[in-house]
Amino acid sequence: MRLVVGSSDDLPKLVVRSPIQPVIDEPHLRLSCHEGEIGDLLADLALHRLDLVLADPPAPPNPNVRVYSHSLGSSPLAWYCSPELAAAARRGFPHSLAKVQCSWRPGTLRCERRSTNGSSD
């Protein structure tokens, strides 16, 4: 027996491993995993080249393809910043985050407000 799994290339490997962990040690199962872009993976699923696709977004509606999307979990995301940056980002949230420049370095997270001409404040 074989199981061919596709995973979108933006999913971390540990996230992909978690739902397929129960079948990894099955002695009579040949597991094959392929990574790619979601559109290509869904095309392969529709052509029966894949048995399962793991991706962040659900499959878009398509009347020509019978695909079912099921949520396997979620994770929280939190933003922390100074009161000034919070006030600047509050109006029009979450789209206002496009105006806030964030960078990450080990041990630090630095955010700056971006002006309309692209320079940092």
Q: How confident is the model at residue 54 (pLDDT cuts 50, 70, 90)?
A: very high
pLDDT at site 102:
66
Q: Tell me the β-bridge partners of 36.
A: 8
| Mean pLDDT, rounded, for 101-114 | 53
- The answer to whether the CB of 45 falls within 8 A of the CB of 53 is yes
| Mean pLDDT, rounded, for 100-109 | 57
Q: How confident is the model at residue 73 (pLDDT cuts 50, 70, 90)?
A: confident
**Greater model confidence, 54 or 110:** 54
